[in-house]
Structure 1
Amino acid sequence: MAAASENGTSDISTESVVVDDDVKFGFQRPEMYTETLTGSVNPYGRHVFLCYKSHEEWPARVESSDSDPLPKRLAGAIKDRKNDIAVKTMLTICESGDGTGLSDGDVLIFPDLIKYRGLEESNIDSFVEDVLVNGNPWSAGTGEPVTGSYVFVCAHNSRDKRCGVCGPVLIEKFNEEIGVRGLKDEVFVGACSHVGGHKYAGNLIIYSKVQEEKVSGHWYGYVTPNDVADLLDQHIKKGEIIERIWRGEMGVPPVEKTEKVAEQTLPNGNDLKENAKDEKENTGGCCQGANGFSCCRVDNSEAKKDGKKSTYKFDFFTRKWEQHEIYTAAAVVGAVATVAVAYSLYKRTR
């Protein structure tokens, strides 16, 4: 019920505003579950997270904001060297500050499972050169191993209010369920900037180490607080993919996913199953960062196109050769028939 002010008029209650936001931008909005999620992740092989401020402070285009020189400078350096970076690399901003254990300038890299501290504008070039281009340890910093599972939830409100409404609620629910299960030292949850697909909010990415020292990176969309327990108990604990809200994964191009088994599990799950591939390729460039730029080397789409063209040309000439053989055989048969008729007429005239 709305509270009454001293002059007798009614104030809009906070509760009604929250409900209205949830209906328009949150988990009750009409667009929820209206689109296919599978295949909505652009292909990439490495994810770099720059820890920087709180998600409430990020401008809509945090990676190109003049008031935020650190992310802007890093984004520009990666973009400038994209053709020298062998692995398709995605850059995203994640939250730092109290309660996160992270500070401005910390960098998390997946699937490398490495954390570097102390990135500044002055040493960005050496970081990109050493780590991203050459694949070596950073000469200006010491890498620390990253353990456990990391859940990054898009809460970039200034970029899209759907993520701004859904993200913080999911983070709160994750922390609540993590506390209940005693997983505080095993599962990290934090806010991140735009990762693509506002319409799929709540959006999140889970990075975990699986068998054979491999690291998985799985994306989920249309996530609600009711899904959090399943993500902890099934995905993180058992390695079972929750297919109804699964968008895709790191290292697997959507174009190659044509079929997908109904019960898919990760290699760290109880049942090791061969993962079949999913369906369609997402629109847009590869490894799109929070500012919409592609920070990976130029892909081989043209080569793929050339391959298709070559195949088509080969088939064309094969068909032409087959037609040539048919015409030649017909000509030979015709010639034999002509000779036979001529010989028959010759015998009759004698």
Structure 2
Amino acid sequence: MLRSLSSITRIGRVSRPWVRLSSTKVPFDTEPFPFSRFEPCCSDQAEQPMENGFVQCAKHPIPKVIGKKVDMTTELRKYDRSRQLLVCVGEDAPEWHRAKVESVKDGLIHRLQEEHKTWLLQGNKSTNPAILLTTACERPSSSSSEWPKCDILMLPEFRRFPAVDPASLTSSSPFIKTMQALWKDPTTQDLPDPGIPYESMDDVDTLVLVCTHTMRDKRCGILGPLIVDEFRKVLEEKNLLTTKGGKVEVWGVSHFGGHVFAGNVIIHQKGLGGHAYGNVRACHVPSIVDRHIVHGKVIKELWRGAVTNP
């Protein structure tokens, strides 16, 4: 249900202070994950391993030219994020045709970046090293809106701001005041009224986000859609997708760092927060669904850090 401005609550207002989630507090699975990084479930015996260690999978094959460019030995770089904004541009938006989604003029991400630049030029700066992660998402926006109007999802709050119009965003608009508070400190709980209605996503408790950004990097562009398809297949079989009466959605998103560690996945789950994984293959998806989504356990072997707190 959309909240009117008269009844809106400041986003994320809680009584406790925000504390960055350390790895010692992450609910890692105590059972070993059945696969190492980028390991296939069914090694193709007819194929020789590549120099980087890539082994083809007989059940889930991927182009060798892609597999040999994946780094599966360097330590996985960890995230230092505290919130994520998903700009729901849909599947066919201009953003997908650019390596940098923020370069599309008149787009919502471009508008937010321009306002951020203006804010910095005015002498403002961040007081917290944590980063606000903003990505394009193929999730469709409200049926009544057309690009460049897009829904914005704010995580970990699981809030949807429907059909935000880039043309309405100026330095004096309430939503930009909210963004300024996040640019200053992405961990803040003291956010001003955004000035537009929002919807609590009560029908969704888990968002699976997979980098599918072909124009940024072919590794994610090839591996990402395979992983998206496998997640949807496995989740559909378990009746966990929202389309089957469940509360899980799976979407492709733009680049969020570390394409050398493709496939890259972020899972946001209410009560567990957002967690990033690297070197994921379609082979791993059934186990990730079982361990992380069903049982709420984070997989240490593939973990790239916490993207948001619970």
- TM-score, normalised relative to structure 2: 0.65
- Structure with more contact order per residue of length (Cα contacts < 8 Å, sep ≥ 6): 2
1:225 aligned partner: 282
Q: Gaps (5+ residues) in structure 1?
A: 1-18, 253-266, 268-350
Alpha-carbon distance in 1 for matches of 2:295, 2:286: 12
Q: 1:101 to 1:184 in 2, by over 3 A?
A: farther
Q: 1:101 to 1:154 in 2, by over 3 A?
A: farther
1:124 aligned partner: 169
Alpha-carbon distance in 1 for matches of 2:200, 2:232: 24
What letter corresponds to residue 101 of structure 2 in structure 1?
Answer: V
Q: Does 1:191 align with 2:229?
A: no
Following superposition of structure 1 onto structure 2, how do residues 11-160 of structure 1 map, counting pairs within 5 Å?
22-25=63-66, 28-29=67-68, 31-37=70-76, 40-54=77-91, 57=94, 58=96, 59-66=98-105, 69-81=107-119, 83=124, 88-97=131-140, 105-125=150-170, 126=173, 127-130=175-178, 133=181, 135-145=191-201, 147-160=204-217
Count how many residue pairs are aligned between Structure 1 and Structure 2: 226
What letter corresponds to residue 24 of structure 1 in structure 2?
Answer: V
- Retained in 2: the 8 A contact 1:50–1:108? yes
Q: Gaps (5+ residues) in structure 2?
A: 1-59, 182-189
- Retained in 2: the 8 A contact 1:75–1:91? no
Deviations 1:182-230 (A, max 9, x none): 00121110010000111011001010111xxxx5110001100111111
Following superposition of structure 1 onto structure 2, how do residues 196-275 of structure 1 map, counting pairs within 5 Å?
196-210=257-271, 215-250=272-307
| Structure 1 residue 42 displacement after superposition | 3.5
Identity level (%) = 29
What letter corresponds to residue 129 of structure 1 in structure 2?
Answer: K
Alpha-carbon distance in 2 for matches of 1:163, 1:52: 19
What letter corresponds to residue 197 of structure 1 in structure 2?
Answer: G
- Retained in 2: the 8 A contact 1:116–1:142? yes
SS in 2 for 1:233: helix
Deviations 1:50-106 (A, max 9, x none): 11132785111111233x5322112222344464666742211111339x9997510
Q: Over alpha carbons, which structure has the higher Rg?
A: 1
Q: 1:91 to 1:32 in 2, by over 3 A?
A: same
Alpha-carbon distance in 1 for matches of 2:241, 2:145: 15
Alpha-carbon distance in 2 for matches of 1:22, 1:52: 29
- Retained in 1: the 8 A contact 2:278–2:302? yes
Once superposed, what is the RMSD of the aligned Cα atoms?
A: 3.0
| Structure 1 residue 235 displacement after superposition | 0.8
Alpha-carbon distance in 1 for matches of 2:133, 2:257: 11
Deviations 1:20-69 (A, max 9, x none): 971111xx3253422211xx133121111111132785111111233x53
2:232 aligned partner: 175
- Whichever structure has more helix as a proportion of its residues is 1
Alpha-carbon distance in 2 for matches of 1:124, 1:238: 41
SS in 2 for 1:47: strand
- Whichever structure has more strand as a proportion of its residues is 2
